[in-house]
Amino acid sequence: MRGELSSCADVDPVAITDVLAIDGPAGAGKSTVARRVAETLRFAFLDTGAMYRAATWNAMYRGADMDDGNALAEATRAMHLDIRESQQGQIVLVDGRDITQAIRTPEVTQRIARLDHNAAVRAHLVELQREFGARGRTVAEGRDMGTVVFPSAKCKVYLDASLDERAHRRAREFEAKGIAFDPDALHNDIRTRDEKDMTRALAPLRRADDAVLVDTSAMTSEEAIDTIIALARRRW
């Protein structure tokens, strides 16, 4: 990433156009695909999912009441967030502490919706995202990049896959990292997350009117990456 992020409420989202926005549901492969696309195009990479996971871990670490919206917002505003790319991959730091692996645990996944659906938390993180995107060419992945955060993005993609395929991919990710999980619970967690993301009142997950749908259910990661790079090169 481009260093530590600080809130900058004066950034006009309509003026931020140099962005490739990639949205989609949990487990669609957004982070993996977006990171590789960014590397190939030599764009900066903005992993907004990691931001919400970091905010969730931070609230848990600080002992904030997960049912108290004000406490969650206060904890989020107090954290110093730094997400950067290294030769070993993405590194996530909160208050100087490396939490790269900690934010990917089932415990964080189960609680992330409490912050994701919190208006004050979301407003603060959106400010950080826009501040990042305003610095230059960016690949931004999340759930509302093309609809809310960067409505004037030059290129928008909606990355999707079947629920079964997304659960299978997440299971492989956990296995590779040595994280224990229950397959049925994992499948249910993703389905529940879909329902919450698509029906929430605040920035619901949906395909932007001008976004290109890329269904990766039967695609390899390489095929998805090549498809999106081809779309991007038509616009830059």
pLDDT tens for the chain, 236 residues long, are 455 666 655 678 888 999 999 999 988 989 889 999 999 999 999 999 899 999 999 999 999 999 999 999 999 999 999 988 787 778 999 999 999 999 999 899 889 989 988 999 999 999 999 998 999 999 999 999 999 999 999 999 999 999 999 999 989 988 998 988 899 999 999 999 899 889 988 889 999 999 999 999 999 999 999 999 999 999 99
61 token code pair: 């670490």
Polymer length of the chain:
236
The DSSP code for 7 is -
Q: Compute the distance between CA of residue 195 and CA of residue 213 in angstroms, rounded to an integer.
A: 19
158 phi/psi in degrees, rounded to 5: -110, 110
CATH of domain 13-228: 3.40.50.300
Q: Tens digit of pLDDT for each residue in 164-173?
A: 999 999 899 8
Q: Compute the distance between CA of residue 59 and CA of residue 199 in angstroms, rounded to an integer.
A: 24
Can you tell me which residue has the tokens 């002992």? 63
Q: Is 86 exposed, middle or buried (0-12, 13-18, 19+ CB in 10 A)?
A: exposed
Can you tell me which residue has the tokens 């931020």? 16
The DSSP code for 170 is H
